């Protein structure tokens, strides 16, 4: 035995609390851990999570030399603080949520419930033996300065909130002044009760606070021309208008580059460009600032506006695909505010807002009612054309209440055109252009070179990543982050998106968003300094390594990593950037020769659990179904099903995986060869409305697993033996039913022909 093996001591701890002692034969579980789990030390305790139980485990670690502990009690998602022993490898056997809470408390069910529990004890023992205590990322980053790109309301808020928390901030703004679009407003939508009148923008106050804060360094007329490195150790080249460049060391980045207004020149049917008296909302703000509370003058002749029509959803919510398909989120409130500009200056101004749906987030109907009380007319209608007519404009529209075509006369028309995120180039388009630029056809190459140059000029961050210079986008150009599961997160670790570059939003939402992004960036720099992972496995000390002597240089890991954490060295072997890694294990699932692993999660840790499960022969009429469940959605849903006492089949054995993308097909092959009757793969929803915490993990995993049919065919097995299902964390009721339905389907099919081999 090697010295390393001799130093290991494996222990198992069996809890009898939370009804476990009443529902299970705990003495038999102790014997299972001792004889079949081959644990050197096995203890039972009435409440392992109690101070006394935790002290017992700690005492064994300190005085008995325990290095690996299998804690067989509740779910690994429960009592994480109590069972946090940093120097010890820990596995969890889920006897509570995963066994007794999903089985009926009847005499008939007792035998199969006990068998479930014994399997989970074996699995926990097998898993911990294959684990190593994570040593932590050696390539830690020490910078705790945040880089904020964009000096609008979102960027200024992130900077102020981070500085308030004691962190240094570098704030980069491409124009000559802070404030963004908000600084161009005359007033803003009210943010507090009684939501009655427009209020000061607050920009001047924010700018003065930034100027007075020693923690914030501001670069104006500046852009980020290169960003290299990793969390905790980014180097950002900031180039100012004069051409000089300074390099800042930063730990995390917030992209708050905001938006531009949708080009109203694309709306000639609404009169924009044909008449100077048709303006967009920014144009109206300029007129209001010039008036400074007085009568607003129309651009064409400088005369006071006596009638104004606001056209909502101008080029927005367009089902044809010609214009913006989405609602920009703030335009209705802005039109109500701007209508008040006219009424507050002169109550006799004829002011009409034409809308299809009036959306006023944040202030209920109070602001809308206030506008009505001031005499603003709201009419439900769809505008077809705006045309010059005599000394004014004619707005032709369909009145949706009366269901008839009609028109309105106006001195001024204001178009609510919406916003387009300033998020950098579309990486797919850029990659396609780069490929085309390598063409041998001179004309194709020349055109592609121009396209590459044009797209790169749009870059916001200029990242030195093999995956491209900016953050990947959704189809409408917003930075890729999930508004429910992980707002602010992007596919580049420690780089966060905030404000309307992330999704359509108003100013209040942008400030909330920017505060959240600042908090996530702070968490990222703190974790990076400790060698720990960022969201969603925040605090994880493990990181991937590769046994290079077995590597075939297939590049699957480098291509499939969703986060740009793997490059290639000079010999074309994978080179891991541990600080960028999210610990999803997608690289491990991608590796065909299984040379990639984590200390506490590997092909062996899961494979050992599969092999530890007792598979009855075909005559016992007790099928075995293996469930590989995503730890972020499916496994919590299973836990909550247990908490709600929703029964499911006693023949399933659940192994949580970090992501469906981490599933290596060898686990499926081994399980089928061992005689498992079926395998359920539970991953997050993927596609445009994805819920995968690792963005592309479930999609990549499903793509790989879609090819498992060839393996089944070669083994002489039905394709239904492997079943993939999308699971949301809310599927608490439906998931147990899916399990039971699949168990019934397998029972009808009969036992696997691989049993007994």
Work out the pLDDT band at 757, boundaries 50, 70, 90: low
The SS3 call for residue 536 is: coil
Q: Specify whether domain 262-415 bears CATH 3.40.50.300.
A: no
The residue written with tokens 């900016």 in the block is 470
Convert the pLDDT of each residue in 268-313 to its tens digit: 999 999 999 999 999 999 999 999 999 999 999 999 999 999 999 9
pLDDT digits (tens, 9 = 90+) for 167-225: 999 999 999 999 999 999 999 999 999 999 999 999 999 999 999 999 999 999 999 99
Q: What is the mean pLDDT of residues 50-79?
A: 97
**pLDDT higher than 50, residue 5:** no
Please name the residue that has the structure tokens 């009655």. 196
CATH homologous superfamily, domain 146-258+459-529: FAD/NAD(P)-binding domain (3.50.50.60)
Give the mean pLDDT of 369-388: 96
Residue 4 above 60 pLDDT?
A: no
Query: Which part of the chain is CATH 3.40.50?
Result: 1-133
**Residue-wise DSSP of 571-636:** TS-EEE-TTT-----HHHHH-TT--EE-SSS-HHHHHHHHHHS----TTS----EEEEEETTTHHH
- Give which of 134, 150, 350, 169 is closest to 260, Cα–Cα: 150
CATH 3.50.50.60 in the chain, residues? 146-258+459-529, 262-415
**What pLDDT, on the 0 to 100 scale, is given for residue 3?**
36
- CB–CB of 206/253 below 8 Å? no
**For position 641, what pLDDT does the model report?**
97
Structure tokens at 658: 């970090």
Q: What pLDDT band is residue 754 in, cutting at 50, 70 and 90? A: confident
Instruction: Say if residues 129 and 68 touch (Cβ distance below 8 Å).
Output: yes
Res. 489 pLDDT band, cuts 50 70 90? confident
Average pLDDT, the chain: 94
In tens, the pLDDT along 628-678 reads: 999 999 999 999 999 999 999 999 999 999 999 999 999 999 999 999 999
140-167 pLDDT tens trace:
888 999 999 999 999 999 999 999 999 9
What are the pLDDT digits (tens) for 592-606?
999 999 999 999 999
User: What average pLDDT score do residues 549-564 get?
Assistant: 92
Does domain 1-133 bear CATH number 1.10.150? no
- In the predicted structure, residue 267 carries a pLDDT above the cut 90: yes
- Helix crossing, 442-457 with 427-436: angle to 10°? 150
């Amino acid at each position: 035995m090697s010295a390393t093996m001799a130093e290991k001591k494996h222990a198992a701890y069996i809890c009898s609390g939370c009804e476990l002692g009443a529902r299970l034969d705990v003495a038999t579980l102790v014997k299972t851990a001792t004889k079949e789990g081959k644990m050197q030390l096995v203890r039972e305790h009435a409440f392992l999570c109690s101070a006394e139980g935790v002290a017992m485990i700690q005492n064994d670690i300190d005085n008995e030399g325990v290095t690996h502990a299998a804690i067989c009690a509740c779910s690994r998602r429960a009592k994480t603080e109590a069972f946090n022993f940093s120097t010890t490898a820990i596995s969890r056997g889920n006897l509570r949520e995963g066994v007794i809470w999903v089985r009926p408390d009847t005499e008939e069910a007792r035998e199969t419930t006990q068998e479930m529990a014994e399997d989970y004890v074996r699995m926990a023992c097998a898993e911990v033996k294959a684990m190593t205590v994570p040593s932590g990322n050696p390539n830690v980053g020490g910078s705790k300065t945040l880089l904020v790109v964009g000096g609008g309301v979102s960027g200024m808020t992130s900077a102020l909130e981070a500085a308030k928390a004691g962190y240094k901030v570098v704030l980069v703004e491409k124009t000559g002044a802070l404030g963004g679009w908000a600084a161009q407003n005359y007033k803003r939508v009210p943010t507090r009760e009684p939501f009655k009148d427009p209020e000061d923008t607050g920009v001047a106050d924010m700018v003065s606070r930034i100027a007075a804060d020693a923690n914030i360094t501001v670069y104006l007329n500046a852009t980020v021309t290169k960003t290299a490195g990793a969390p905790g150790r980014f180097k950002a080249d900031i180039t100012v208008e004069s051409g000089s460049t300074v390099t800042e060391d930063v730990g995390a980045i917030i992209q708050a580059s905001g938006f531009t207004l949708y080009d109203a020149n694309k709306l000639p049917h609404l009169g924009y460009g044909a008449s100077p008296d048709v303006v967009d909302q920014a144009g109206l703000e300029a007129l209001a600032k010039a008036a400074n509370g007085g009568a607003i003058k129309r651009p064409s002749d400088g005369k006071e506006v006596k009638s104004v029509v606001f056209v909502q959803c101008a080029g927005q919510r367009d089902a044809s695909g010609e214009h913006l398909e989405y609602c920009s989120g703030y335009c209705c409130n802005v039109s109500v505010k701007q209508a008040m500009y006219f009424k507050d200056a002169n109550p006799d101004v004829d002011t009409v807002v034409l809308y299809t749906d009036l959306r006023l987030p944040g202030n209920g109907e109070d602001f809308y009612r206030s506008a009505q009380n001031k005499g603003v007319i709201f009419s439900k209608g769809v505008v077809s054309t705006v045309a010059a007519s005599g000394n004014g404009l004619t707005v032709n529209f369909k009145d949706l209440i009366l269901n008839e075509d009609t028109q309105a006369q106006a001195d001024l028309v204001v178009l609510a055109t919406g916003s387009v995120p300033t998020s950098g180039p579309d990486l797919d388009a850029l990659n396609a252009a780069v490929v085309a630029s390598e063409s041998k056809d001179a004309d194709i190459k020349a055109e592609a070179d121009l396209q590459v140059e044009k797209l790169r000029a749009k870059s916001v961050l200029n990242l030195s990543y093999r995956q491209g210079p900016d953050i990947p986008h959704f189809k409408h150009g917003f930075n890729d982050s999930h508004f429910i599961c992980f707002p602010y997160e992007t596919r580049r670790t420690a780089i966060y998106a905030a404000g309307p570059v992330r999704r359509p939003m108003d100013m209040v939402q942008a400030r909330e968003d920017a505060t959240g992004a600042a908090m996530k960036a702070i968490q990222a720099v703190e974790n990076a300094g400790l060698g720990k992972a960022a969201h969603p496995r925040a605090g994880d000390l493990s990181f991937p390594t590769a046994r290079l002597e077995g590597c075939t240089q297939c590049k699957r890991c480098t291509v499939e990593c969703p986060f740009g954490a793997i490059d290639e060295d000079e010999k074309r072997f994978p080179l891991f950037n541990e600080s960028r890694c999210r610990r999803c294990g997608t690289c491990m699932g991608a590796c065909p020769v299984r040379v990639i692993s984590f200390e506490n999660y590997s092909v062996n840790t899961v494979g050992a659990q599969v092999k530890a499960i007792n598979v009855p022969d075909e005559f016992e009429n007790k099928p075995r179904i293996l469930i590989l469940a995503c730890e972020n959605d499916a496994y919590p849903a299973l836990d909550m099903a247990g908490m709600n006492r929703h029964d499911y089949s006693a023949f399933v054995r659940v192994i949580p995986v970090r992501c469906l993308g981490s599933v290596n097909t060898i686990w499926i092959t081994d399980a089928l060869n061992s005689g498992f009757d079926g395998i359920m793969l539970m991953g997050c929803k993927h596609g445009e409305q994805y819920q995968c915490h690792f963005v592309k993990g479930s999609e990549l995993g499903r793509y790989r697993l879609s090819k498992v049919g060839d393996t089944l065919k070669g083994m002489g097995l039905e394709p239904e033996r492997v079943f993939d299902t999308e699971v949301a964390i809310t599927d608490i009721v439906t998931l147990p039913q899916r399990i039971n339905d699949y168990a019934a389907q397998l029972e009808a099919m009969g036992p696997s022909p691989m049993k007994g081999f």
